[in-house]
Structure 1
Amino acid sequence: MNTAAAQEAILSGVMDRWKAAVDAHEPRQIASYFTEDAIFQGLHPYSVGRQGVAEYYAAQPLGMTADYQVLETRELAEGVLLGYLRVAFSFADRPTIRVVLSVVLRRVADQWHIAHYQVSKLD
């Protein structure tokens, strides 16, 4: 079983790559951090698989950036990790959107990928 610090390091590693690709507006790169069968729920109707993830982020405006804070992590089973985060999506031409994000990470061939992504806007 991973320690809390190890769990947060795994989650932060995945989310740092996600953030870098979001900030650079690289939809295909973002999608590559998800499992092939990932369930993805942004602020629009959900999709399943990397194609839906790529389409969602391709539709986001240039200049959108993401900043996150890890709130909680839990190891659900060996090779499965839950993360709960606060995320602020900033834009050049509109107010920042603040959400909470739940992700389930799954280890696939020694790489961690997002298998489930669920955003909730609490405002």
Structure 2
Amino acid sequence: MTSTEAAILRPVLDQWKSAVNAHDPKHVASLFTGEAIFQGLHPYSIGPQGVAAYYDAQPIGLTAAYDIQETRRLADDLVLGYLSVTFTFTDRPAVQAYLSVIVRQLNNDWLIDHYQVSRLN
């Protein structure tokens, strides 16, 4: 993992984590491109509206913690991140998952263009 790619990913992922932890689905959705492919643990959607609906349906008290495992620069304006994520709930056991994201630079902002979470157990 290079520090350059991690430095690009962290601000976007830190905002994602903060918005998820605050149960702020509109803020989470604002971190995605207009045509983002989003695959949570339910059927996929395209664009911020699907992201907002997904996170709005999550229980109050859900929190996320992540650790970047790998990064790749796919193009000047694209960075891939592979993460381990722990989703914690107030009323059930935590969920360990893996998350792949591709962030795209649009103007001076980096936004999530692809999001795929996998639960292996």
TM-score bracket, shorter-length normalisation:
over 0.9
Question: By how many angstroms is 1:4 displaced?
Answer: 1.0
TM-score (norm 2): 0.98
The residue type paired with residue 48 of structure 2 is R
Rounded Cα–Cα distance in structure 1 between residues aligned with 2:6 and 2:51: 23
1:51 aligns with 49
1:122 aligns with 2:90: no
Letter in 1 for 2:18: A
CA distance in 2, matches of 1:93, 1:103: 28
| Whole-angstrom distance in 2 between the partners of 1:104 and 1:59 | 24
- 1:115 partner letter: D
Q: Which residue in 1 is equivalent to 2:58?
A: 60
Mapping of 1:14-93 within 5 angstroms?
14-93=12-91
Tell me by how many angstroms 1:5 deviates: 0.4
1:108 aligns with 2:67: no
Post-superposition offset of 1:9? 1.1
Between the two proteins, the alignment pairs up a number of residues equal to 121
Alpha-carbon offset, residue 83 of structure 1? 0.3
Offset at residue 6 of structure 1 (A): 1.2
Q: Could you tell me which runs of 5 or more consecutive residues in structure 1 were left unpaired when the two chains were aligned.
A: none
Q: Distance in 2 between matches of 1:42 and 1:97?
A: 13
Cα distance in 1 for partners of 2:55, 2:107 equals: 25
How far apart, in 1, do the equivalents of 2:28 and 2:106 lie? 16
Question: Over the residues paired in the alignment, what is the CA RMSD in angstroms?
Answer: 0.9
Of all paired residues, the percent bearing the same amino acid is 55
